[in-house]
A and B are shown apart, each in its own frame.
Chain A
Amino acid sequence: NAGVMQNPRHLVRRRGQEARLRCSPMKGHSHVYWYRQLPEEGLKFMVYLQKENIIDESGMPKERFSAEFPKEGPSILRIQQVVRGDSAAYFCASSPGTASGNTIYFGEGSWLTVV
């Protein structure tokens, strides 16, 4: 029973390029969350999605960032025109639902470096 799968694990992009991070939730989980962790800082919520719907994007920067979770395939976090400040670890997590007892499980993260 595979856990939350993220790829790529490490990604290097030049300033101005696009970064696409993928996340496949655990089997049976229909809720996906994306978090960002800057060096030496805590986890910051970005976006929460269900299949084909964005439920809460209150943590997403207003520009350049977008997320989707299509009916088929993984969730994608897309960062356009990357800047050095986007260098961070991006963690995806999934849960079976939103009930208060539902635990959220994390993937191993995608480390983005912008040069």
Chain B
Amino acid sequence: RKEVEQDPGPFNVPEGATVAFNCTYSNSASQSFFWYRQDCRKEPKLLMSVYSSGNEDGRFTAQLNRASQYISLLIRDSKLSDSATYLCVPRSWGKLQFGAGTQVVVTP
């Protein structure tokens, strides 16, 4: 089983709609989690950190289910600028192991 698995998408989302997608991880020792976003030909940028059951930051909500070992990201009121690849990253010791990412395309 891969350390991190994500639905690659793309998720085509009308502007203003809500989109949610999951990430499953295999290392039960992961203590914290990060969501990064990556735009085409750009570096990954931190979107959100999750240390407990979840986190909310504006239109973005992350929820962690440790029992089932998945973390979700929900984007409300999608903007065109939300179009990107979203990378789920469980954090334990040492390196960050990235999933392949979920592509989101917000359309007018």
Given the contacts A42-B101, A98-B93, A108 and B42 also touching, CB distance less than 8 Å? yes
Residues of B near A48 (CB, < 8 A) are 94-95
Cβ contact within 8 Å between B46 and A103: yes
Mark out the residues of chain A between 1 and 48 whose CB falls within 8 Å of any chain B CB in the assembled complex: 33, 35, 41-43, 45, 48
Cβ contact within 8 Å between B43 and A56: no
Cβ contact within 8 Å between B44 and A106: yes
Q: Which one, B41, B51, B96, B100, contacts A33 given CB within 8 A?
A: B96
- Closest B residue to A101 using CB positions: B32
Cβ contact within 8 Å between B94 and A55: yes
Cβ contact within 8 Å between A43 and B31: no
Cβ contact within 8 Å between A45 and B97: yes
**Chain A residues with a Cβ under 8 A of chain B:** 33, 35, 41-43, 45, 48, 55-56, 59, 89, 91, 93, 98, 100-109
10 closest Cβ pairs, A-B complex: A100-B31, A42-B100, A106-B43, A43-B98, A100-B32, A48-B95, A100-B91, A45-B95, A106-B44, A108-B43
Mark out the residues of chain B between 83 and 108 whose CB falls within 8 Å of any chain A CB in the assembled complex: 87, 91-101
In the assembled complex, 8 residue pairs joining A and B whose CB atoms fall closer than 8 Å, in A order, are: A43-B98, A45-B95, A91-B44, A100-B93, A102-B91, A106-B44, A108-B42, A109-B42
Give the B interface residue count (CB, 8 A).
24
Given the contacts A42-B100, A56-B94, A101 and B43 also touching, CB distance less than 8 Å? no
Residues of A near B42 (CB, < 8 A) are 108-109
- Closest A residue to B92 using CB positions: A100
Cβ contact within 8 Å between A98 and B94: yes
Closest Cβ of chain B: how far from A103's Cβ, in Å? Answer: 6
Mark out the residues of chain B between 27 and 71 whose CB falls within 8 Å of any chain A CB in the assembled complex: 30-32, 34, 41-46, 49, 51
Residues of A near B98 (CB, < 8 A) are 35, 42-43, 45
Cβ contact within 8 Å between A106 and B45: yes
Cβ contact within 8 Å between B43 and A45: no
Interface string of B18-30 (1 = CB under 8 A from A): 0000000000001
